[in-house]
Amino acid sequence: MLEVKGIDTYYGNIQALRDVSLRVDDGEIVTLIGANGAGKSTTLMTICGINRPRKGEILWDGMPIHELPPHEIVRLGISQVPEGRLIFPDLSVRENLDLGAFLRNDVQGIKEDMDYVFDLFPILAQRRRQTGGTLSGGEQQMLAISRALMARPKLLLLDEPSLGLAPIIIQQIFQIIQRVNANGTTVFLVEQNANQALRIAHRGYVMENGRIVTSDSAENLLQSEDVRSAYLGM
């Protein structure tokens, strides 16, 4: 479905990604784990067209997308939930969700998807008239995920959904990610919380200093001595 082939991405003269290759197949949850500053967010930003690779290519169902503008990439079925949530604090929950559907004009489908996200996150239905800025951190993350789902993506890209949230909320969010995946959305999950991410993922990649250093099934990565000592604190 998504194939990243040998990309290098820079910030000015600083090389953030070195020959990064990975793939995400239809129906999977794939996670990219690694320490702070390893290049995980840059990988995600490069996939969604915000950063441009200087070398390599990104294919979506075999079609090169690494030169397309971000909105075209969204239109193809790739939606991102950025790190730090970045919802619109002065708009209501409902208005934030409407913005997630801004490239669509199928009124009936948009209504169905609004019902779908309210079913996933009933608390958002209760708070639909509240402004985004008055929500708790966990609710804002739920809103950010829901807003991305309002584009009805085939592939959902999540950047550190667990960041700064209490363990119980993290569990809820990860359960919902699994449910969204079971409903047919493919997921690419960038996480520092390797333990939680590997527990819900099918496969994983480990990134260090801008390079992919390991890839395997999530189960094998959870058992790997190297991964356990470097990322799972065991």
Q: Would you tell me which residues interact with ligand ATP (CB under 6 A)?
A: 11, 14, 16, 34, 36-42, 83, 192
Q: Which amino acid is at 168?
A: I
Residue among 103 and 213 whose Cβ is closer to ligand ATP? 213
Residue among 150 and 207 whose Cβ is closer to ligand ATP? 207
Cβ 222 to ligand ATP, closest distance in Å? 20
Residue that is written with structure tokens 């979506």 in the block: 60
Cβ 34 to ligand ATP, closest distance in Å? 5
Strands 155-159 and 203-208: what pairing? unpaired
Residue among 114 and 201 whose Cβ is closer to ligand ATP? 201
Alpha-carbon distance of 157 to 98, in angstroms, equals 19
Cβ 207 to ligand ATP, closest distance in Å? 7
Nearest to 143 by CA among 79, 197, 100: 100
Cβ 91 to ligand ATP, closest distance in Å? 26
| Cross-strand bridge partners of residue 8 | 55
Alpha-carbon distance of 151 to 168, in angstroms, equals 27
Residue among 39 and 161 whose Cβ is closer to ligand ATP? 39
